[in-house]
């Protein structure tokens, strides 16, 4: 089941999300620091967090917020994109982190999280490590457009691919 968390519900899930994030990414933050950072992220304009659960277990998550030119990571990306692309990202939702728990992968959870996010019309973007073949294939399969590849954003950050998706209003 995919659920979008409210800011009131987030504290009940933040440790499970942080643990899943740390199990999937080479993130040097401690569990405590990541939990604190997630609480700070939740105060950012346009913050959204979606979780997938199965019998009370968090099997996947996705979170992010509205992108702004004054954000650190966004500033790194802006060095590699045109002024027009920067304008597009200014009104876009940035997927900050997304992961699916080992043992639950290949069951459509990641695709369901992306579909739930983009069910709301708007602009979305994310980055993926260049050498993470599985992640890059996954975004391609889910119709995300590769905007720029092999971005060397920072010496301490692996080269990234930048993906974008525009979700339009769906008429039944």
Taking 80 as the threshold, does the pLDDT of residue 171 lie above it? no
Instruction: Give the tens place of pLDDT for each residue, 125-144.
Output: 999 999 999 999 999 999 99
Confirm if 152 and 104 have CB atoms less than 8 A apart: no
Domain ranges of the chain: 2-167
Predicted model pTM: 0.93
pLDDT above 90: percentage of residues in the chain: 91
Instruction: Give the tens place of pLDDT for each residue, 81-106.
Output: 999 999 999 989 999 999 999 999 99
CATH code, 2-167: 3.40.630.30
Confirm if 153 and 76 have CB atoms less than 8 A apart: yes
């Amino acid at each position: 089941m995919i659920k979008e968390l409210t800011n009131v519900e987030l504290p009940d899930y933040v440790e499970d999300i942080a643990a899943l994030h740390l199990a999937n990414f080479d993130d040097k933050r401690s569990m405590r620091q990541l939990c604190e950072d997630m609480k700070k992220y939740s105060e950012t304009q346009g913050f959204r967090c979606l979780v997938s659960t199965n019998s009370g277990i968090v099997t996947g998550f996705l979170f992010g917020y509205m992108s702004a030119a004054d954000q650190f990571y966004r500033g790194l990306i802006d060095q590699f994109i045109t002024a027009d692309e920067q304008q597009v990202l200014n009104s876009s939702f940035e997927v900050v982190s997304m992961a699916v728990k080992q043992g639950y992968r290949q069951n459509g959870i990641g695709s369901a999280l992306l579909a739930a996010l983009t069910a709301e019309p708007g602009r979305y973007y994310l980055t993926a490590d260049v050498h993470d073949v599985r992640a890059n294939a996954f975004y391609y399969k889910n119709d995300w457009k590769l905007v720029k590849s092999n971005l060397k954003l920072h010496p301490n950050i692996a080269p990234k691919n930048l993906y974008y998706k525009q979700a339009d209003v769906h008429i039944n």
